[in-house]
Amino acid sequence: MNAAFLPAGDPAAGRILVIDMGGTHVKFGFVVAGRPEAFAHLVPTKRLRNAHPVASLAAQTREAIALAGIEPDVIVCTVPGFIDEDEDTLLHLRNIPELDGHRLATELGQLLQRPVVLERDATLALLGELAAGCAQDCDLVMGMFFGTGIGAAMVVGGRPFRGCGWALEAGHVPCLLERNGEPDARQPTIEDCASGRALEHIATRHAEPVANVFGAATGKPELAAELERFVQYQALAVDTAVALLAPKVVVLGGGVLNIAHYPRARLARLIEINAPFAKTGVPVNLRWAQLGWTNTLHGAPRVIREYVRRRGSLPALGDSCCAS
């Protein structure tokens, strides 16, 4: 344990820097004494796509610290992909593959001389909605977030369900599509069909900006049909997870669902029609995420407390954070 960075009593009561790594942008924000700060700093994720991605992330983090004028006690960093059960090694990040294999908590912590706690992006977002958003005081909550990729998380008994480190990577569930005589070919995934990246491909094919693609569908039947199929795939992703996990509450969020003219009512209707609850008469308790990206700030203190509960302390600088 690096006691110098542990505030007396509550390890989450000090100054927390949150790094929210997404497929398009990396966002930086702070939580001080349990309250999110107004400061936010955003940089393109492409700045990490090089031969030294951890050093690049450290440089961007130092810049954010300097701009905010806040020296953090601990850093919480989201991971948009597969984390090993050691909570340190990145197994695969589809949108930032340069980070694959890196022990990000250890390496970034050594470069910045601060303890670094990793958390899946969807888990941190869902914990934030439980702390201060649409799912306060709820349990058995599943969240699904449609951004550049697709992330999902589940909280049971107030704690995230983790499996062997990366449970609920719903975007990687295969979709059975026609493969033109290639029976052994790898199938496309839900993320290939229902993510922000998939929506960008639809918008490009129809020469429309993503920000206006849903509004542009009026009077364009081919575009409207593609968008309907896109929303159907999103509903399929939600209903598949609901069938497997039986949550009491389902939280939906992410940047795609906040695009102008996105058909939320249609998505909710498709989820209702195909949910396993439909035959029982029990409705899906569907809620829309309220906090935007700041749900990661609201969730960060819970992530730190949960980490210390599991591991006994924050990661020690210079050591692997997998020691328990």
Q: How far apart are CA 109 and CA 315, in angstroms?
A: 8
220-270 pLDDT, tens per residue? Answer: 999 999 999 999 999 999 999 998 999 999 999 999 999 999 999 999 999
Q: Are residues 221 and 277 in the same domain?
A: yes
DSSP secondary structure, 169-187, as one string? -GGGSB-----SS-TTSPP
Per residue in 103-116, pLDDT tens? Answer: 999 999 999 999 99
In this structure, the answer to whether residues 142 and 281 fall within a common structural domain is yes
Domain assignment of residue 127, yes or no = no
d(CA 213, CA 224): 9
Confidence of residue 178 (pLDDT cuts 50, 70, 90): low
| Closest to 84 in 3D by CA, of 96, 75, 93 | 93
**180 confidence band (pLDDT: 50, 70, 90):** low
200 and 66 in a common domain = no
Residue 8 inside a domain? The answer is yes
Q: Identify the pLDDT of residue 1.
A: 38
**In a shared domain, residues 159 and 61:** no
* Beta strands 90-92 and 74-79, pairing class: unpaired
Strand partners, 200: none
Q: Is 11 within the bounds of a domain?
A: yes
Q: How confident is the model at residue 322 (pLDDT cuts 50, 70, 90)?
A: very low
Helix (H) or strand (E) holding 152: strand 150-156
Residues 195, 116 share a domain: no
Q: Which residues is 35 bridged to in the sheet?
A: 32
Mark whether 217 and 233 lie in a shared domain: yes
Q: Are 76 and 176 within one domain?
A: no
Summarised one tens digit per residue, pLDDT across range 52-98 is 999 999 999 999 999 999 999 999 999 998 999 999 999 999 889 99
The verdict on residue 129 lying in a domain is: no
User: What's the confidence (pLDDT) of residue 181?
Assistant: 62
- For residue 324, being part of any structural domain is answered with no
In a domain, 316, yes or no: no
Give the closest residue to 112 by CA, choosing from 322, 324, 318.
318
d(CA 198, CA 133): 28
| 66 and 34 in a common domain | yes
Q: Where residue 286 falls among pLDDT bands split at 50, 70, 90?
A: very high
pTM, rounded to two decimals = 0.91
Question: pLDDT tens digit string along 118-159?
Answer: 999 999 999 999 999 999 989 999 999 999 999 999 999 999
Residues 179 and 260 in one domain: yes
29 shares a domain with 138: no
Number of domain units in the chain: 2
Rg (Cα) of the chain, in Å, rounded? Answer: 20
How distant is the alpha carbon of residue 40 from its chain centre?
18
Residue 321, pLDDT > 50, answer no
The sign one gets for the Cα dihedral 137, 139, 142, 148 is positive
Answer yes or no: do 29 and 8 share one domain: yes
**Would residue 21 count as lying in a domain?**
yes
Percent of the chain surpassing pLDDT 90: 77
In a domain, 321, yes or no: no
Say which CATH number the domain at 42 has: 3.30.420.40
The residue-averaged pLDDT of 171-193 equals: 78
Phi, psi of 207 (to 5 degrees): 55, 45
DSSP 158: T
The pLDDT value recorded for residue 162 is: 87
pLDDT at residue 324 tops 50: no
Q: 249: which strand partners?
A: 141
Which pLDDT score is estimated for 284?
Answer: 82
State how far Cα 20 lies from the chain centre: 8
pLDDT tens-digit profile of 7-50?
A: 557 888 999 999 999 988 999 999 999 999 999 999 999 999 99
Residue range(s) defining the domain that contains residue 300? 3-120+293-311
3-state SS class at 13 = coil
Q: Cα separation of 71 and 74, whole Å? A: 9
In this predicted structure, the answer to whether residue 5 has a pLDDT above a threshold of 80 is no
98 & 13 share domain: yes
Amino acid code (one letter) for 54: V
